[in-house]
A and B are shown apart, each in its own frame.
Chain A
């Protein structure tokens, strides 16, 4: 028998039970739709997170004190002198800039308004390393460091909370933990990110932060060193140079564990990716369960159909249908049910994820669903496979009927 004939006949018999076929197909539509929506939204979330990570800056390394993997005694803290050494091209040729920061949460106030903000004490090169653009005014300069100036650059959220506006805030004086600071700049909005708001921040000169805002028991101690590599290819080399330099400066014996930790932007990105991958698999799995339920629906309806058509099967056998003919006929029907469901499900999934994305964007989270041919093919082929898998049992039951018994069936 030719394929088009088999398909035509299967369509004919599905058409004979329109309502039943439609309901069975809906089960698959919902399953495939859910899988498609979850996968495309998951990939959208992944793209959005990796976008945010690349917004942090480019070719970055983050250096912290301490080691989370191995226990290290007598941790030597990171100091401003380390930063100065890293900035020496003779020591670390792959490092473009290293910049120190110390920080913490402090109370900012202006007039009667007050708000808890994330304060960062740092130096002039922070702006270029962390890709900070200014809306108004200027960033911290070397002069501010030398003069231990009482100045601050604030983020847009801080401006909103303290002033209720973003225009003309430069020149105002705010209080940070009681200390008066003159606002010299306002940063551009970066939006929320996985690492907390980048907009609810106040930057102050490192020297001013150290003397007036945070107390560190060790002279010259810093919390984080941001290291920018010369280019993308030299990130690994830079990381090695930082390691060697810090080890020698901290006088670590060969074989001793590092007393500092280096994260690269890539490692954060890949960590985020592995987390979102788990998320995608989880969501896809939950959606897959509904596809499974749809498949069971197909099996159920095919079993009913086989019972109803026992006589027809007996007749076909009497007319010379082999086992394989009957098997093919019923498998084609169940595969068609799920394939039609799969194609409609792709459309539903596409619509569903568009709706979710519109709602997410309106509530401030930028998720653009990602559709790939791969996703669509996967869902369609998977649904056809579900149809065949759940069709095998009923079809085999039909094909194994004894012709005499089947013909006698009322």
Chain B
């Protein structure tokens, strides 16, 4: 497979801060191949989060063109963006972001509910996704009854359950101890290697980025180096 899943063309994101216009991204271009494992690095304030929000379709660029899995995202409405996120993007957050009053299974079924998947199929697919991250015996546990590493596994299962084009992981190991962090990275690596999932890890931890195939480094809103 050598097709392109992400095309970023001269992405610009600027904010108006009082009188001054701040460029969080000042013209960023790169491609990501399907099945790649790459990391986005850079010091804080370099525009990492802004780039991740645009790549994850949470936000729109103020200039440039972004094509995700063949769809031009730049001029979509909020609801169309929501549908794109639902079908094409899986998110893994630093702080897991699970619904604390719902079971692991209910958390994983959530994206499918917005996709309009039937009840029975939701349960079946969610169970399978939890089994694939090694939590088949804990599907009815609530997040509070799970360890940090287990919670992040639930989040990964939730991210994958709609078979997205890309998996966006924002500091996925940032809230974990080093052992659980390694396990989560291993899981992401194996998902990439065995199932061909395109994984984009946003991090400032060199140990994490060292495990990825390619590193994109941002500084002051521009690419410092693309390997």
Contact = CB atoms under 8 A, between A and B. Distances in A.
B58 A403 contact: yes
A12 B103 CA distance: 11
B83 A404 contact: no
B115 A320 contact: yes
B101 interface: yes
B114 A5 contact: no
Interface stretch (A58-66, A163-171, A292-300, A321-329): A321-329
Given A2-B119, A311-B97, A312-B99, A323 B78 contact: yes
B85 A320 contact: yes
A344 to B, nearest CB: 24
Nearest to A317: B82
B153 interface: no
A315 B162 CA distance: 15
A19 interface: no
Interface string B68-108: 00000000001100110111000101000101011000000
A1 B82 contact: no
Contacts of A317: 58, 82, 85
A244 to B, nearest CB: 76
B158 A319 contact: yes
B119 A325 contact: no
Interface in A371-410: 402-404, 407
Most buried by A among B79, B111, B113: B113
B101 A13 contact: yes
A354 interface: no
Contacts of B110: 316, 319
B91 A319 contact: yes
B113 A5 contact: yes
A320 B83 contact: yes
A322 B85 contact: no
Interface residues of A, number: 24
A333 to B, nearest CB: 13
Contacts of B82: 317, 320-323
A72 interface: no
A194 interface: no
Contact of B111 (A2, A15, A319, A403): A319
Nearest to A321: B114
Most buried by B among A5, A318, A320, A404: A320
A16 interface: yes
Interface size class of B (residues with CB under 8 A): 20 to 34
Contacts of A315: 93, 97, 99
A322 B119 contact: no
Nearest to B114: A320
B113 A1 contact: yes
Nearest to A15: B101
Contacts of B93: 315, 407
A407 B91 CA distance: 12
Interface string B96-138: 0101011000000011011110010000000000000000000
B180 interface: no
A21 B26 CA distance: 48
Contacts of B102: 12
Given A5-B119, A12-B102, A315-B97, A322 B79 contact: yes
A404 B59 contact: yes
B53 interface: yes
B154 to A, nearest CB: 13
Nearest to A319: B111
B87 A320 contact: yes
Contact of A1 (B53, B99, B114, B158): B114
Interface of A: 1-2, 5, 12-13, 15-16, 311-312, 315-325, 402-404, 407
Given A319-B158, A323-B79, 13 more contacts: A1-B116, A12-B101, A317-B85, A318-B58, A318-B97, A319-B114, A320-B111, A320-B114, A320-B162, A322-B79, A322-B114, A407-B58, A407-B97
In the complex, the 3 A-B pairs of residues with the closest C-beta atoms, listed nearest first: A320-B86, A320-B114, A319-B111
Interface of B: 53, 56, 58-59, 78-79, 82-83, 85-87, 91, 93, 97, 99, 101-102, 110-111, 113-116, 119, 158, 162
10 contacts: A1-B113, A1-B114, A5-B113, A16-B101, A315-B93, A318-B85, A321-B86, A325-B114, A403-B59, A404-B58
